[in-house]
Amino acid sequence: MRFANLAAAFGENSIQVGALALDRSHAVQLAGDLLVASGRVHPDYTQEMIDVLDSHGPYIVIAPGIALAHSKPSNLVLETGMSLVVLAEPIEFGNKANDPVRLVFGFCAVDHDSHLGLLQDLAIALSEESFVNSLLNARDSEHLRSLL
Amino acid sequence: MREIPNISAACSDSIRQNGIMKIIAVCGMGIGTSVLLKMNAEKVLRQMGIDATVEATDMKTARESRDAQVILTTPDLAGLLTGLPSEIITIEHFFDLEEITNKLSKSLL
């Protein structure tokens, strides 16, 4: 396991490979659904993630092809965690520099600082182009999990 | 990556007088995107030999902030952060240390 904190953040059923989304809100919805399915958040958290996108714009597209969708710590978050949707077809989020998006991470945290190790892992992982490519080429969710 | 000169001598008087430079990394919620930006900015500043503190904050806190020399954020959010005394630097690719280095050098040198 290369990224222990990252791997631990992905619960069961938190990864979907080859997903189809209609638009950016739908793509974020899928990432939120996985956080719900893996027991990390209340379903209302997903709507908050979509609201952040609508109110603050597509800043969540933090690198070419990669979005990090999240809201804030609240009682809707049961446990800090992550999810990942690998889109079969790229989606435009409206981010000039980094569109279109194929990797949509969902993220939830119970507080403001206990997830720093997790984000540190994420920063290192996503700065490696080969790692990002391996995520994009994962055969299925189990294969993707084995890459973490 | 090209060699980066030590810029501590080039910092403005106000920054020197106040000691360590304060930079805030801003995202909508202050827990995800901004934390990633803070981590990579700290890495770059260390390489550049600049003594600075970097804090991750949300938009609300950033709008009330008056003591940061520099605000690091994304192009989308920069438009929502007007009227502040801080210089705003926008980063497009959060994991591209070269982009962060180039933009910080250009601004701080």
Q: What is the CATH number of the domain that holds A62?
A: 3.40.930.10
Q: Which residues of B touch A96 (CB under 8 A)?
A: 75
Kindly give the parts of chain B with pLDDT less than 50. 1-3, 5-17
Q: Is A112 on the interface with B (CB under 8 A)?
A: yes
For A132, name the nearest residue in chain B, comparing CA atoms only: B95
Structure tokens, A38: 């893996």
Tally C-beta pairs within 8 A across A and B.
Answer: 74
ipTM score here? 0.86
Q: Which residues of B touch A120 (CB under 8 A)?
A: 39
Domain around A107: 4-147
A17-66: per-residue pLDDT in tens?
999 999 999 999 999 999 999 999 999 999 999 999 999 989 999 999 99
List helix spans (H) across chain A: 4-9, 24-37, 44-56, 116-126, 129-136, 141-147
Domain boundaries, chain B: 19-104
Contact B95 A58 (CB under 8 A): no
Q: Provide the pLDDT for residue B18.
A: 55
For B76, name the nearest residue in chain A, comparing CA atoms only: A59
A12 secondary structure, DSSP code: E
Contact A112 B95 (CB under 8 A): no
Q: Provide the pLDDT for residue A79.
A: 97
Q: What's the rounded Cα separation, in Å, for the pair A95 and B68?
A: 27
Q: Is B90 on the interface with A (CB under 8 A)?
A: no
Q: Is A64 on the interface with B (CB under 8 A)?
A: yes
A58-112: per-residue pLDDT in tens?
999 999 999 999 999 999 999 999 999 999 999 999 999 999 999 999 999 999 8
The vertex-A129 CA angle with A127 and A133, nearest 5°, equals 130
Domains identified in chain A, total number: 1
A76 secondary structure, DSSP code: T
- B44 and B76 Cβ atoms separated by less than 8 Å: no
> Which class would CATH give B19-104?
alpha beta
The size of chain A, in residues, is 148
Contact B32 A120 (CB under 8 A): no
pLDDT band for position A1 (cuts 50, 70, 90) = low
Q: Provide the pLDDT for residue A12.
A: 96
Q: What's the rounded Cα separation, in Å, for the pair B14 and B6?
A: 18
